[in-house]
Amino acid sequence: MLVTENIIVETPFGSIKGTKRDGLAVFHRVPYAKPATGEGRYALPSEPVIWNGVLEAVDSGPVAPQLPSRLDAVMGTYPMHLDEDCLHLDIWSPVTADASAPVLVFMHGGGFMTGGGSLPCYDGTLLAKNSGCVVVTISYRIGPLGFLSEPAFAPTNLGIRDQIAALKWIGKAISAFGGNPHTITVAGQSAGAYSIAAMLANSDCKGLFKRAILMSPPLGLKLPKADKARPTASGMLKVLGLDPANLNALRTLPIDRILEALRLLPQTLPPSQVPGDMVPPFTPVIDGDVITCDPIDAILQGSAAWCDTIIGTTREEYSSFAHGNPLFENFTNEQLVAEFSRVFGDDADTVLAKARNRRIPARPGALLADLRANETFIEPSVAFANAQAHHGARSYIYQFDWQAPTAGLGACHCIDLPFLFGNLETWHSALSIAGANADELRDLSNIFQRALMSFVRTGSPEADDLPSWPPYIDNGSKLHFDRTVQAYATP
């Protein structure tokens, strides 16, 4: 019988009490800044909180207020408590006395609109136990609280500023939890990976971490300038019957009213002219401060060369968004031809013919999903890896090809997440793995997790008993994770 006991660690900011079981210490709801509530709803993240006495860190914390995710079916749904008081960390640690353990810091995805580091799907118990690393997850502001673009009203990119504040806290305090602050690897998926790219493009973030793992970053996302972003703040007020010019109302509106405005907001926004466009209403913006250009543009020029990286995509990124979506399911061949003509001009016929011969069955909606996936995820990720290699960084790239048993999902966006965390029972309701063979899930998770955590520990995802994973260079070699795990180049 495993016995749970209390453990107290001394950080530079005060004493923290967590729980310890089977050699692993766990700390929940560890604050890295003051709560961004009340008058602080749209304030910059504060300096770290310093407290007296012992801070109780034994109960899981809330996640940022949000609506249901558009990917709930693919990801599964999990118990969550919503609260604006969400600027906190969850930490799983072997608590080595000499603070020598490598550190993995994970930033959740969710399209800048949903998710939270405290969700059960991101529980780091098995990841920390299997790897011997300290695992940290970050919760941060999202949606209209984290990515409102009204520079005259509030600071921009608050969600990314929260993440940076969290990384600074971790750098100062992680040794108290047994972690080596000089061997921090950040990992993120989707919006979390894009946030890491934004930091790699910002010279002020150099030194916050040593290595980075970017899982399905939407690097093809084109950011608006802060003063040119869609008028989402006034739109939210308008649908609530409030004066759209009085943005100060957003400071005092109850959070349930803000969520109701968020639910109604699409009624006020013009529809996208790009079929299958899934850009959420709130995203990072180019503000000349935290973000000075689209992150991929800076990275192509070498801004991330100081950081060794792994970047990966799934084979059918957009099938998560297309599954059950009438736009994709009802997309016609005529519409497909028109869209390829818009994107590729005179080359449209040739490109479309090749696309048809790569996809079986070659339904118009599936080909549209492939087009959007290539633009948003796959092609810019290859460009990222190429740039890293060209500028002297060690760079690795993977493609997750193992596909969901659910028909039509394929190797969809988010499918690699349960294989990283290893807590497959927690993910059992997610369509991405529901119905799959348990041995197959466990064995692939073991290989995927060990390869990525080898990179966290040593800077290389290779080990004597793992598949060869050469650095990405001009030969275009990727490691493909499927029922056979092997590296090869794909054109």
The residues carrying an active-site annotation are: 190, 317, 413
Q: Distance between CA 17 and CA 269 in Å, rounded?
A: 47
Per DSSP, 307 falls in state S
Beta bridge partner(s), residue 106: 137, 187
Q: Which of 202, 371, 203 is nearest to 276 (CA)?
A: 371
Please state whether 422 falls in left (phi above 0), alpha (psi between -120 and 50) or beta: left
Strands 54-56 and 14-21: parallel
Element (H, E) at 400: strand 395-400
Backbone torsions φ then ψ of 94, nearest 5 degrees: -75, -5
Scanning 98-244, the segments in alpha helix (DSSP H) are 125-131, 143-146, 158-173, 191-200, 232-239
- Nearest-angstrom CA–CA distance, 37 and 279: 27
The C-alpha atoms of residue 442 and residue 338 are separated, in whole angstroms, by 44
Amino acid at 303: S
Q: How far apart are CA 348 and CA 106, in angstroms?
A: 40
Distance CA 481, CA 487 (A): 9
The rounded distance, in Å, linking the Cα atoms of 368 and 316 is 11
Q: Can you give the three-state secondary structure of 421-458, one letter per residue?
A: HCCCCCCCCCCCCCCCCHHHHHHHHHHHHHHHHHHHHH
DSSP codes joined into one string, 100-132 = -EEEEEEE--STTTS--TTSGGG--HHHHHHH-
3-class secondary-structure state, position 368:
helix
